[in-house]
Structure 1
Protein backbone atom coordinates (compact mmCIF):
# COMPACT_ATOMS: atom_id res chain seq x y z
CA UNK A 1 0.00 0.00 0.00
CA UNK A 2 1.25 3.47 -0.92
CA UNK A 3 2.15 5.54 2.13
CA UNK A 4 -0.82 7.72 3.10
CA UNK A 5 -0.28 11.33 4.02
CA UNK A 6 -1.68 12.49 7.36
CA UNK A 7 -4.28 14.80 5.82
CA UNK A 8 -5.54 11.95 3.64
CA UNK A 9 -5.65 9.58 6.60
CA UNK A 10 -7.62 12.05 8.72
CA UNK A 11 -10.16 12.58 5.94
CA UNK A 12 -10.59 8.82 5.52
CA UNK A 13 -10.82 8.22 9.28
CA UNK A 14 -13.44 10.94 9.68
CA UNK A 15 -15.51 9.51 6.85
CA UNK A 16 -15.36 5.99 8.27
CA UNK A 17 -16.29 7.10 11.77
CA UNK A 18 -19.20 9.32 10.67
CA UNK A 19 -20.58 6.66 8.33
CA UNK A 20 -21.06 4.31 11.30
CA UNK A 21 -22.09 6.29 14.41
CA UNK A 22 -21.84 4.31 17.62
CA UNK A 23 -19.71 1.58 16.04
CA UNK A 24 -16.60 0.76 18.05
CA UNK A 25 -13.49 0.57 15.86
CA UNK A 26 -10.29 -0.87 17.27
CA UNK A 27 -7.13 1.11 16.66
CA UNK A 28 -5.63 -2.15 15.45
CA UNK A 29 -8.14 -2.17 12.59
CA UNK A 30 -7.08 1.30 11.48
CA UNK A 31 -3.41 0.47 12.10
CA UNK A 32 -3.59 -2.44 9.66
CA UNK A 33 -5.65 -0.47 7.17
CA UNK A 34 -3.26 2.49 6.99
CA UNK A 35 -0.03 0.71 8.01
CA UNK A 36 0.32 3.30 10.76
CA UNK A 37 1.36 3.04 14.42
CA UNK A 38 -1.42 3.16 17.00
CA UNK A 39 0.27 6.10 18.73
CA UNK A 40 0.07 8.08 15.49
CA UNK A 41 -3.59 7.15 15.06
CA UNK A 42 -4.30 8.31 18.61
CA UNK A 43 -2.93 11.73 17.66
CA UNK A 44 -5.16 11.71 14.57
CA UNK A 45 -8.19 10.98 16.72
CA UNK A 46 -7.42 13.93 18.98
CA UNK A 47 -7.32 16.21 15.94
CA UNK A 48 -10.62 14.80 14.59
CA UNK A 49 -12.29 15.11 17.99
CA UNK A 50 -11.21 18.74 18.42
CA UNK A 51 -12.45 19.68 14.95
CA UNK A 52 -15.81 17.99 15.48
CA UNK A 53 -16.36 19.70 18.81
CA UNK A 54 -15.29 23.09 17.45
CA UNK A 55 -17.92 22.94 14.71
CA UNK A 56 -20.64 21.30 16.82
CA UNK A 57 -20.65 18.07 14.79
CA UNK A 58 -20.30 15.56 17.62
CA UNK A 59 -17.36 13.92 19.29
CA UNK A 60 -15.05 10.91 19.19
CA UNK A 61 -15.15 8.74 22.29
CA UNK A 62 -12.32 6.46 23.36
CA UNK A 63 -13.17 3.19 25.10
CA UNK A 64 -10.28 1.72 27.06
CA UNK A 65 -9.51 -1.93 27.66
CA UNK A 66 -8.63 -4.97 25.57
CA UNK A 67 -11.90 -4.76 23.64
CA UNK A 68 -11.84 -0.97 23.45
CA UNK A 69 -11.38 1.42 20.59
CA UNK A 70 -12.90 4.63 19.24
CA UNK A 71 -16.37 5.56 18.06
CA UNK A 72 -18.11 8.60 16.63
CA UNK A 73 -21.01 9.99 18.65
CA UNK A 74 -23.25 12.55 16.94
CA UNK A 75 -23.65 15.24 19.57
CA UNK A 76 -24.66 18.53 17.95
CA UNK A 77 -24.04 21.66 19.99
CA UNK A 78 -27.00 23.45 21.56
CA UNK A 79 -26.43 26.32 19.14
CA UNK A 80 -26.66 23.95 16.18
CA UNK A 81 -29.72 22.20 17.64
CA UNK A 82 -31.49 25.53 18.13
CA UNK A 83 -30.70 26.52 14.56
CA UNK A 84 -31.93 23.21 13.10
CA UNK A 85 -35.20 23.24 15.05
CA UNK A 86 -35.86 26.91 14.29
CA UNK A 87 -35.38 26.28 10.57
CA UNK A 88 -37.60 23.21 10.67
CA UNK A 89 -40.36 25.12 12.49
CA UNK A 90 -40.12 27.90 9.91
CA UNK A 91 -40.45 25.39 7.08
CA UNK A 92 -43.51 23.79 8.70
CA UNK A 93 -45.14 27.20 9.28
CA UNK A 94 -45.90 27.72 5.59
CA UNK A 95 -49.69 28.38 5.31
CA UNK A 96 -49.81 26.21 2.18
CA UNK A 97 -49.31 23.20 4.45
CA UNK A 98 -52.82 23.52 5.88
CA UNK A 99 -55.04 20.85 4.36
CA UNK A 100 -58.84 20.33 4.76
CA UNK A 101 -59.82 19.36 8.27
CA UNK A 102 -57.20 21.58 9.86
CA UNK A 103 -54.38 19.10 9.39
CA UNK A 104 -50.73 19.92 8.79
CA UNK A 105 -49.01 18.46 5.72
CA UNK A 106 -45.56 17.26 6.76
CA UNK A 107 -44.78 14.21 4.61
CA UNK A 108 -42.16 16.05 2.57
CA UNK A 109 -40.27 16.97 5.74
CA UNK A 110 -40.51 13.43 7.14
CA UNK A 111 -39.11 12.01 3.90
CA UNK A 112 -36.26 14.48 3.49
CA UNK A 113 -33.16 12.50 4.55
CA UNK A 114 -31.13 15.56 5.59
CA UNK A 115 -33.84 16.83 7.95
CA UNK A 116 -34.51 13.45 9.50
CA UNK A 117 -30.77 12.83 9.95
CA UNK A 118 -30.60 16.09 11.88
CA UNK A 119 -33.62 15.20 14.02
CA UNK A 120 -32.20 11.74 14.70
CA UNK A 121 -28.93 13.26 15.90
CA UNK A 122 -30.84 15.60 18.20
CA UNK A 123 -32.68 12.64 19.73
CA UNK A 124 -29.40 10.76 20.15
CA UNK A 125 -27.99 13.74 22.03
CA UNK A 126 -31.09 14.27 24.16
CA UNK A 127 -31.37 10.59 25.10
CA UNK A 128 -27.67 9.76 25.34
CA UNK A 129 -27.86 9.17 29.08
CA UNK A 130 -30.50 6.41 28.90
CA UNK A 131 -28.30 4.10 26.73
CA UNK A 132 -31.04 2.19 24.87
CA UNK A 133 -30.47 -1.15 23.16
CA UNK A 134 -33.16 -0.67 20.51
CA UNK A 135 -35.19 2.09 18.88
CA UNK A 136 -38.89 1.36 18.35
CA UNK A 137 -41.56 2.95 16.18
CA UNK A 138 -44.87 2.01 14.58
CA UNK A 139 -45.27 1.42 10.82
CA UNK A 140 -46.28 4.92 9.82
CA UNK A 141 -44.61 8.01 8.38
CA UNK A 142 -42.35 8.16 11.43
CA UNK A 143 -40.14 5.31 10.17
CA UNK A 144 -37.52 7.61 8.53
CA UNK A 145 -37.23 9.59 11.77
CA UNK A 146 -36.86 6.45 13.89
CA UNK A 147 -34.40 4.94 11.39
CA UNK A 148 -32.23 8.08 11.53
CA UNK A 149 -32.35 8.01 15.32
CA UNK A 150 -31.32 4.34 15.36
CA UNK A 151 -28.47 5.13 12.97
CA UNK A 152 -27.25 8.00 15.17
CA UNK A 153 -27.15 5.60 18.13
CA UNK A 154 -25.74 2.73 16.08
CA UNK A 155 -28.67 0.55 17.17
CA UNK A 156 -31.22 -1.78 15.52
CA UNK A 157 -34.68 -0.43 14.66
CA UNK A 158 -37.77 -2.38 15.73
CA UNK A 159 -41.01 -1.66 13.88
CA UNK A 160 -44.36 -2.33 15.52
CA UNK A 161 -47.01 -3.39 13.01
CA UNK A 162 -50.70 -2.61 12.93
CA UNK A 163 -51.51 -6.26 12.37
CA UNK A 164 -49.21 -9.31 12.28
CA UNK A 165 -47.21 -10.74 9.35
CA UNK A 166 -46.92 -14.50 8.80
CA UNK A 167 -43.34 -14.09 7.54
CA UNK A 168 -42.19 -12.71 10.90
CA UNK A 169 -43.21 -15.70 12.99
CA UNK A 170 -45.10 -15.65 16.29
CA UNK A 171 -46.08 -12.17 17.45
CA UNK A 172 -47.42 -10.49 20.55
CA UNK A 173 -50.47 -8.31 19.93
CA UNK A 174 -52.31 -5.82 22.09
CA UNK A 175 -55.34 -3.60 21.70
CA UNK A 176 -54.95 0.08 22.45
CA UNK A 177 -57.21 3.10 22.38
CA UNK A 178 -56.22 5.91 20.04
CA UNK A 179 -55.96 9.04 22.16
CA UNK A 180 -57.32 11.29 19.39
CA UNK A 181 -60.06 9.14 17.77
CA UNK A 182 -60.88 7.03 20.86
CA UNK A 183 -61.06 3.99 18.58
CA UNK A 184 -59.74 0.58 19.61
CA UNK A 185 -56.87 -0.54 17.36
CA UNK A 186 -54.38 -3.39 17.33
CA UNK A 187 -50.60 -3.39 17.15
CA UNK A 188 -48.23 -6.35 17.15
CA UNK A 189 -44.56 -7.14 17.54
CA UNK A 190 -42.67 -10.28 16.46
CA UNK A 191 -41.38 -12.12 19.52
CA UNK A 192 -37.90 -12.34 17.99
CA UNK A 193 -37.66 -8.60 17.38
CA UNK A 194 -37.17 -7.48 20.97
CA UNK A 195 -35.42 -9.67 23.56
CA UNK A 196 -36.72 -9.64 27.10
CA UNK A 197 -34.78 -7.23 29.30
CA UNK A 198 -33.91 -4.87 26.45
CA UNK A 199 -33.94 -1.11 26.94
CA UNK A 200 -36.06 0.61 24.31
CA UNK A 201 -36.33 4.16 23.02
CA UNK A 202 -39.75 4.89 21.46
CA UNK A 203 -39.73 7.39 18.58
CA UNK A 204 -42.73 8.74 16.64
CA UNK A 205 -43.37 11.58 14.23
CA UNK A 206 -46.51 13.11 15.76
CA UNK A 207 -48.35 13.04 19.05
CA UNK A 208 -51.77 14.45 19.81
CA UNK A 209 -53.12 12.59 22.84
CA UNK A 210 -50.41 9.94 23.09
CA UNK A 211 -52.47 6.79 22.46
CA UNK A 212 -50.08 5.29 19.90
CA UNK A 213 -47.02 5.99 22.03
CA UNK A 214 -48.70 4.46 25.07
CA UNK A 215 -49.61 1.42 22.98
CA UNK A 216 -45.96 0.92 22.02
CA UNK A 217 -44.92 1.26 25.65
CA UNK A 218 -47.49 -1.33 26.71
CA UNK A 219 -46.39 -3.68 23.93
CA UNK A 220 -42.72 -3.36 24.91
CA UNK A 221 -43.64 -4.13 28.52
CA UNK A 222 -45.65 -7.13 27.34
CA UNK A 223 -42.52 -8.76 25.86
CA UNK A 224 -40.43 -7.93 28.94
CA UNK A 225 -38.60 -4.89 27.57
CA UNK A 226 -38.11 -1.59 29.39
CA UNK A 227 -38.96 1.71 27.72
CA UNK A 228 -36.31 4.22 28.77
CA UNK A 229 -37.56 7.21 26.78
CA UNK A 230 -40.16 8.48 24.33
CA UNK A 231 -39.42 11.10 21.68
CA UNK A 232 -41.68 12.72 19.09
CA UNK A 233 -40.88 15.20 16.37
CA UNK A 234 -44.08 17.22 16.86
CA UNK A 235 -46.59 17.26 19.72
CA UNK A 236 -49.77 19.30 19.90
CA UNK A 237 -50.29 21.72 22.75
CA UNK A 238 -53.83 20.34 23.19
CA UNK A 239 -54.91 18.20 24.86
CA UNK A 240 -52.57 19.39 27.59
CA UNK A 241 -52.87 16.09 29.45
CA UNK A 242 -51.52 13.27 27.31
CA UNK A 243 -51.93 9.56 27.89
CA UNK A 244 -48.20 9.50 28.65
CA UNK A 245 -46.55 12.02 30.93
CA UNK A 246 -42.85 11.61 30.26
CA UNK A 247 -41.95 12.39 26.65
CA UNK A 248 -39.68 14.70 24.67
CA UNK A 249 -41.00 16.74 21.73
CA UNK A 250 -38.68 18.68 19.43
CA UNK A 251 -41.45 20.94 18.09
CA UNK A 252 -44.73 22.00 19.66
CA UNK A 253 -47.79 22.68 17.50
CA UNK A 254 -49.87 25.37 19.19
CA UNK A 255 -52.45 26.04 16.49
CA UNK A 256 -53.41 25.37 12.89
CA UNK A 257 -55.82 28.08 11.73
CA UNK A 258 -57.75 26.68 8.78
CA UNK A 259 -59.57 29.99 8.29
CA UNK A 260 -56.81 32.38 9.35
CA UNK A 261 -54.20 30.41 7.37
CA UNK A 262 -51.81 30.66 10.32
CA UNK A 263 -49.65 27.87 11.70
CA UNK A 264 -48.15 28.36 15.15
CA UNK A 265 -45.39 25.79 15.60
CA UNK A 266 -42.39 26.43 17.85
CA UNK A 267 -39.15 24.67 18.74
CA UNK A 268 -38.91 23.16 22.21
CA UNK A 269 -35.57 24.64 23.22
Structure 2
Protein backbone atom coordinates (compact mmCIF):
# COMPACT_ATOMS: atom_id res chain seq x y z
CA UNK A 1 0.00 0.00 0.00
CA UNK A 2 1.35 3.40 -1.01
CA UNK A 3 0.47 6.69 0.59
CA UNK A 4 0.90 9.33 -2.09
CA UNK A 5 -0.18 12.88 -2.61
CA UNK A 6 -3.08 13.15 -5.02
CA UNK A 7 -0.91 14.60 -7.79
CA UNK A 8 1.51 11.68 -7.50
CA UNK A 9 -1.35 9.21 -7.29
CA UNK A 10 -2.85 10.57 -10.52
CA UNK A 11 0.46 10.14 -12.32
CA UNK A 12 0.91 6.57 -11.14
CA UNK A 13 -2.71 5.61 -11.85
CA UNK A 14 -2.36 6.98 -15.37
CA UNK A 15 0.77 4.93 -15.96
CA UNK A 16 -0.91 1.84 -14.47
CA UNK A 17 -3.78 2.17 -16.97
CA UNK A 18 -1.59 2.94 -19.99
CA UNK A 19 0.42 -0.28 -19.63
CA UNK A 20 -2.71 -2.40 -19.12
CA UNK A 21 -4.96 -1.58 -22.09
CA UNK A 22 -8.18 -3.55 -22.55
CA UNK A 23 -7.89 -4.93 -19.00
CA UNK A 24 -10.73 -4.58 -16.53
CA UNK A 25 -9.24 -3.15 -13.32
CA UNK A 26 -11.51 -3.20 -10.21
CA UNK A 27 -11.69 0.00 -8.19
CA UNK A 28 -10.65 -2.13 -5.21
CA UNK A 29 -7.25 -2.60 -6.85
CA UNK A 30 -6.56 1.13 -6.75
CA UNK A 31 -8.18 1.61 -3.34
CA UNK A 32 -5.94 -1.05 -1.79
CA UNK A 33 -2.88 0.05 -3.75
CA UNK A 34 -3.04 3.62 -2.46
CA UNK A 35 -4.96 3.18 0.78
CA UNK A 36 -7.71 5.48 -0.45
CA UNK A 37 -11.51 5.37 -0.39
CA UNK A 38 -13.26 4.24 -3.56
CA UNK A 39 -14.96 7.62 -3.76
CA UNK A 40 -11.56 9.32 -3.99
CA UNK A 41 -10.41 6.81 -6.60
CA UNK A 42 -13.56 7.48 -8.64
CA UNK A 43 -12.82 11.21 -8.59
CA UNK A 44 -9.26 10.56 -9.74
CA UNK A 45 -10.46 8.35 -12.57
CA UNK A 46 -12.88 11.05 -13.71
CA UNK A 47 -9.95 13.46 -14.04
CA UNK A 48 -7.87 10.89 -15.94
CA UNK A 49 -10.81 10.09 -18.23
CA UNK A 50 -11.22 13.76 -19.11
CA UNK A 51 -7.51 14.18 -19.91
CA UNK A 52 -7.42 10.98 -22.00
CA UNK A 53 -10.31 12.16 -24.13
CA UNK A 54 -9.13 15.78 -24.47
CA UNK A 55 -5.60 14.77 -25.43
CA UNK A 56 -6.71 11.98 -27.78
CA UNK A 57 -5.03 9.19 -25.83
CA UNK A 58 -8.06 6.92 -25.73
CA UNK A 59 -11.18 6.13 -23.79
CA UNK A 60 -11.65 5.14 -20.15
CA UNK A 61 -14.77 3.04 -19.66
CA UNK A 62 -16.38 2.50 -16.27
CA UNK A 63 -18.31 -0.70 -15.62
CA UNK A 64 -20.70 -0.61 -12.68
CA UNK A 65 -21.55 -3.44 -10.32
CA UNK A 66 -19.71 -5.80 -8.01
CA UNK A 67 -17.63 -7.18 -10.87
CA UNK A 68 -17.09 -3.75 -12.42
CA UNK A 69 -14.11 -1.46 -12.68
CA UNK A 70 -12.38 0.60 -15.35
CA UNK A 71 -10.94 -0.33 -18.73
CA UNK A 72 -8.62 1.79 -20.86
CA UNK A 73 -8.97 1.53 -24.64
CA UNK A 74 -6.24 3.25 -26.70
CA UNK A 75 -7.66 5.29 -29.58
CA UNK A 76 -6.00 7.55 -32.15
CA UNK A 77 -7.94 10.68 -33.24
CA UNK A 78 -8.28 11.44 -36.94
CA UNK A 79 -5.88 14.39 -36.86
CA UNK A 80 -3.16 12.32 -35.22
CA UNK A 81 -3.77 9.49 -37.71
CA UNK A 82 -3.15 11.81 -40.65
CA UNK A 83 0.02 13.07 -39.00
CA UNK A 84 1.32 9.50 -38.74
CA UNK A 85 0.43 8.83 -42.37
CA UNK A 86 2.22 11.97 -43.53
CA UNK A 87 5.35 10.95 -41.64
CA UNK A 88 5.27 7.55 -43.35
CA UNK A 89 4.74 9.14 -46.78
CA UNK A 90 7.68 11.53 -46.40
CA UNK A 91 9.99 8.69 -45.52
CA UNK A 92 8.76 6.20 -48.12
CA UNK A 93 8.79 8.64 -51.04
CA UNK A 94 12.55 9.13 -50.84
CA UNK A 95 13.93 8.04 -54.28
CA UNK A 96 16.82 6.02 -52.84
CA UNK A 97 14.31 3.60 -51.28
CA UNK A 98 13.55 2.00 -54.62
CA UNK A 99 15.52 -1.21 -55.07
CA UNK A 100 16.19 -3.22 -58.26
CA UNK A 101 13.07 -5.11 -59.31
CA UNK A 102 10.77 -2.37 -58.03
CA UNK A 103 11.04 -3.40 -54.38
CA UNK A 104 10.72 -0.77 -51.67
CA UNK A 105 13.25 -0.67 -48.85
CA UNK A 106 11.36 -0.59 -45.54
CA UNK A 107 13.57 -2.30 -42.97
CA UNK A 108 14.73 0.94 -41.36
CA UNK A 109 11.14 2.16 -40.95
CA UNK A 110 10.14 -1.08 -39.28
CA UNK A 111 13.07 -0.61 -36.93
CA UNK A 112 11.89 2.77 -35.61
CA UNK A 113 10.06 2.03 -32.32
CA UNK A 114 8.29 5.39 -32.07
CA UNK A 115 6.83 5.25 -35.58
CA UNK A 116 5.91 1.57 -35.41
CA UNK A 117 4.26 2.07 -32.02
CA UNK A 118 2.09 4.80 -33.54
CA UNK A 119 1.10 2.49 -36.39
CA UNK A 120 0.38 -0.25 -33.86
CA UNK A 121 -1.95 2.16 -32.08
CA UNK A 122 -3.75 2.81 -35.38
CA UNK A 123 -4.43 -0.89 -35.79
CA UNK A 124 -5.45 -1.15 -32.13
CA UNK A 125 -7.94 1.65 -32.81
CA UNK A 126 -9.30 -0.04 -35.94
CA UNK A 127 -9.75 -3.42 -34.26
CA UNK A 128 -10.60 -2.26 -30.74
CA UNK A 129 -14.14 -3.63 -30.90
CA UNK A 130 -13.19 -7.07 -32.25
CA UNK A 131 -13.09 -10.08 -29.96
CA UNK A 132 -9.50 -11.29 -30.28
CA UNK A 133 -7.21 -13.85 -28.67
CA UNK A 134 -3.89 -13.32 -30.48
CA UNK A 135 -2.06 -11.20 -33.04
CA UNK A 136 -0.36 -13.21 -35.78
CA UNK A 137 2.33 -12.35 -38.32
CA UNK A 138 4.87 -14.16 -40.48
CA UNK A 139 8.59 -13.73 -39.95
CA UNK A 140 10.48 -11.51 -40.18
CA UNK A 141 9.73 -7.90 -41.13
CA UNK A 142 6.20 -7.89 -39.77
CA UNK A 143 7.27 -8.90 -36.26
CA UNK A 144 7.91 -5.38 -34.84
CA UNK A 145 4.55 -4.17 -36.16
CA UNK A 146 2.73 -7.18 -34.72
CA UNK A 147 4.25 -6.64 -31.29
CA UNK A 148 3.41 -2.93 -31.37
CA UNK A 149 -0.21 -3.72 -32.23
CA UNK A 150 -0.44 -6.45 -29.62
CA UNK A 151 0.92 -4.16 -26.90
CA UNK A 152 -2.02 -1.76 -27.38
CA UNK A 153 -4.52 -4.62 -27.51
CA UNK A 154 -2.91 -6.45 -24.58
CA UNK A 155 -2.67 -9.68 -26.57
CA UNK A 156 0.03 -12.32 -27.16
CA UNK A 157 1.85 -12.59 -30.50
CA UNK A 158 2.08 -15.73 -32.63
CA UNK A 159 4.80 -15.87 -35.28
CA UNK A 160 4.49 -18.07 -38.34
CA UNK A 161 7.86 -19.47 -39.44
CA UNK A 162 9.24 -20.04 -42.93
CA UNK A 163 10.63 -23.42 -41.90
CA UNK A 164 10.09 -25.93 -39.12
CA UNK A 165 12.32 -25.63 -36.05
CA UNK A 166 13.14 -28.38 -33.60
CA UNK A 167 12.51 -26.01 -30.70
CA UNK A 168 8.89 -25.52 -31.87
CA UNK A 169 7.95 -29.18 -31.40
CA UNK A 170 5.34 -30.74 -33.66
CA UNK A 171 4.08 -28.29 -36.27
CA UNK A 172 1.66 -27.77 -39.12
CA UNK A 173 3.15 -26.80 -42.47
CA UNK A 174 1.44 -25.67 -45.67
CA UNK A 175 2.52 -24.52 -49.10
CA UNK A 176 1.33 -21.20 -50.49
CA UNK A 177 1.95 -19.04 -53.56
CA UNK A 178 3.84 -15.83 -52.80
CA UNK A 179 2.10 -12.78 -54.20
CA UNK A 180 5.38 -11.07 -55.09
CA UNK A 181 7.50 -13.88 -56.53
CA UNK A 182 4.67 -16.20 -57.68
CA UNK A 183 6.70 -19.06 -56.29
CA UNK A 184 5.46 -21.83 -54.04
CA UNK A 185 6.79 -21.33 -50.53
CA UNK A 186 6.27 -22.97 -47.16
CA UNK A 187 5.08 -21.64 -43.82
CA UNK A 188 4.79 -23.50 -40.55
CA UNK A 189 3.33 -23.03 -37.09
CA UNK A 190 3.97 -25.08 -33.98
CA UNK A 191 0.99 -26.95 -32.56
CA UNK A 192 1.63 -25.43 -29.14
CA UNK A 193 1.86 -21.89 -30.49
CA UNK A 194 -1.87 -21.46 -31.02
CA UNK A 195 -4.91 -22.93 -29.29
CA UNK A 196 -7.63 -24.36 -31.46
CA UNK A 197 -10.58 -22.10 -32.25
CA UNK A 198 -8.57 -18.96 -31.42
CA UNK A 199 -9.74 -15.61 -32.75
CA UNK A 200 -6.86 -14.10 -34.68
CA UNK A 201 -5.82 -10.68 -35.93
CA UNK A 202 -3.30 -10.92 -38.79
CA UNK A 203 -0.79 -8.08 -39.13
CA UNK A 204 1.72 -7.71 -41.98
CA UNK A 205 4.07 -4.99 -43.19
CA UNK A 206 3.39 -5.16 -46.95
CA UNK A 207 0.74 -6.71 -49.17
CA UNK A 208 1.09 -7.04 -52.91
CA UNK A 209 -1.46 -9.63 -54.06
CA UNK A 210 -2.07 -11.05 -50.60
CA UNK A 211 -0.59 -14.52 -51.13
CA UNK A 212 1.26 -14.59 -47.80
CA UNK A 213 -1.80 -13.46 -45.85
CA UNK A 214 -3.97 -16.01 -47.67
CA UNK A 215 -1.39 -18.62 -46.69
CA UNK A 216 -1.77 -17.66 -43.03
CA UNK A 217 -5.54 -17.86 -43.35
CA UNK A 218 -5.24 -21.36 -44.84
CA UNK A 219 -2.85 -22.33 -42.05
CA UNK A 220 -5.30 -21.13 -39.42
CA UNK A 221 -7.96 -23.48 -40.77
CA UNK A 222 -5.76 -26.35 -39.60
CA UNK A 223 -6.18 -24.96 -36.08
CA UNK A 224 -9.93 -24.40 -36.51
CA UNK A 225 -9.14 -20.75 -35.79
CA UNK A 226 -11.03 -17.76 -37.16
CA UNK A 227 -9.58 -14.60 -38.72
CA UNK A 228 -11.25 -11.61 -37.10
CA UNK A 229 -9.25 -8.96 -38.92
CA UNK A 230 -6.31 -8.24 -41.24
CA UNK A 231 -4.13 -5.15 -41.01
CA UNK A 232 -1.28 -4.18 -43.36
CA UNK A 233 1.02 -1.19 -43.14
CA UNK A 234 1.32 -0.74 -46.92
CA UNK A 235 -0.65 -2.27 -49.77
CA UNK A 236 0.39 -2.21 -53.40
CA UNK A 237 -1.91 -0.73 -56.02
CA UNK A 238 -0.09 -2.37 -58.91
CA UNK A 239 -2.23 -5.53 -58.81
CA UNK A 240 -5.68 -5.64 -60.36
CA UNK A 241 -7.18 -7.73 -57.58
CA UNK A 242 -6.07 -8.76 -54.11
CA UNK A 243 -6.62 -12.26 -52.84
CA UNK A 244 -7.81 -10.69 -49.58
CA UNK A 245 -10.95 -8.57 -49.67
CA UNK A 246 -11.50 -7.66 -46.03
CA UNK A 247 -8.44 -5.84 -44.70
CA UNK A 248 -7.31 -2.47 -43.37
CA UNK A 249 -4.28 -0.68 -44.79
CA UNK A 250 -2.56 2.44 -43.48
CA UNK A 251 -0.92 3.46 -46.77
CA UNK A 252 -1.10 2.49 -50.44
CA UNK A 253 1.86 2.40 -52.82
CA UNK A 254 0.51 3.74 -56.13
CA UNK A 255 3.74 4.27 -58.07
CA UNK A 256 7.30 2.97 -57.94
CA UNK A 257 9.10 3.76 -61.20
CA UNK A 258 12.65 2.32 -61.37
CA UNK A 259 13.59 4.69 -64.22
CA UNK A 260 12.47 8.00 -62.75
CA UNK A 261 12.84 6.84 -59.12
CA UNK A 262 9.41 8.30 -58.50
CA UNK A 263 7.53 6.82 -55.56
CA UNK A 264 3.97 7.76 -54.70
CA UNK A 265 2.19 6.84 -51.47
CA UNK A 266 -1.44 7.74 -50.69
CA UNK A 267 -3.72 7.04 -47.71
CA UNK A 268 -4.85 3.44 -47.30
CA UNK A 269 -8.43 2.33 -46.75
CA UNK A 270 -8.08 2.94 -43.00
CA UNK A 271 -8.78 6.56 -43.92
CA UNK A 272 -10.90 6.09 -47.04
CA UNK A 273 -13.42 3.46 -45.92
CA UNK A 274 -13.36 2.74 -42.22
CA UNK A 275 -12.46 6.22 -41.02
CA UNK A 276 -10.46 7.05 -37.93
CA UNK A 277 -11.69 8.17 -34.55
CA UNK A 278 -12.98 11.73 -34.72
Alignment TM-score, normalising by the size of structure 2: 0.92
Deviations 1:189-246 (A, max 9, x none): 1112211121100000000010000000111111110001111000000203011111
Aligned-pair CA distance for 1:62: 2.3
- In structure 2, the partner of 1:87 is 87
Deviations 1:115-150 (A, max 9, x none): 111111100111122221111000111100001111
In the alignment, is the contact (CA less than 8 A) between 1:221 and 1:227 conserved in 2?
no
- In structure 2, the partner of 1:206 is 206
Alignment of 1:147-186 (within 5 A): 147-186=147-186
Point out where structure 2 has 5 or more consecutive residues left out of the alignment: 272-278
In the alignment, is the contact (CA less than 8 A) between 2:214 and 2:243 conserved in 1?
yes
CA distance in 2, matches of 1:165, 1:15: 38
Secondary structure class of the residue paired with 1:179: coil
Point out where structure 1 has 5 or more consecutive residues left out of the alignment: none
CA distance in 2, matches of 1:150, 1:66: 29
Aligned-pair CA distance for 1:37: 1.1
Distance 1:178 1:197, change over 3 A: same
Secondary structure class of the residue paired with 2:180: coil
Per mean C-alpha deviation after superposition, the further-off stretch among 97-106 and 76-85 is 97-106
In the alignment, is the contact (CA less than 8 A) between 1:75 and 1:122 conserved in 2?
yes
In the alignment, is the contact (CA less than 8 A) between 2:134 and 2:156 conserved in 1?
yes
In the alignment, is the contact (CA less than 8 A) between 1:120 and 1:152 conserved in 2?
yes
- In structure 1, the partner of 2:265 is 265
CA distance in 2, matches of 1:120, 1:196: 25
Alignment of 1:211-222 (within 5 A): 211-222=211-222
CA-based RMSD of the aligned residues comes to: 1.4
- In structure 2, the partner of 1:231 is 231
Alignment TM-score, normalising by the size of structure 1: 0.95
Count of residues paired in the alignment:
269
- In structure 2, the partner of 1:8 is 8
Secondary structure class of the residue paired with 1:181: coil
Q: Does 1:51 align with 2:63?
A: no
Deviations 1:57-101 (A, max 9, x none): 111122344443222211011111111112211221111222222
In the alignment, is the contact (CA less than 8 A) between 1:86 and 1:266 conserved in 2?
no
Distance 1:185 1:65, change over 3 A: farther
- In structure 2, the partner of 1:25 is 25
Distance 1:200 1:65, change over 3 A: farther
Per mean C-alpha deviation after superposition, the further-off stretch among 63-72 and 40-49 is 63-72
In the alignment, is the contact (CA less than 8 A) between 2:2 and 2:35 conserved in 1?
no
Secondary structure class of the residue paired with 1:241: coil
CA distance in 2, matches of 1:154, 1:62: 18
Distance 1:172 1:64, change over 3 A: farther
CA distance in 1, matches of 2:2, 2:34: 9
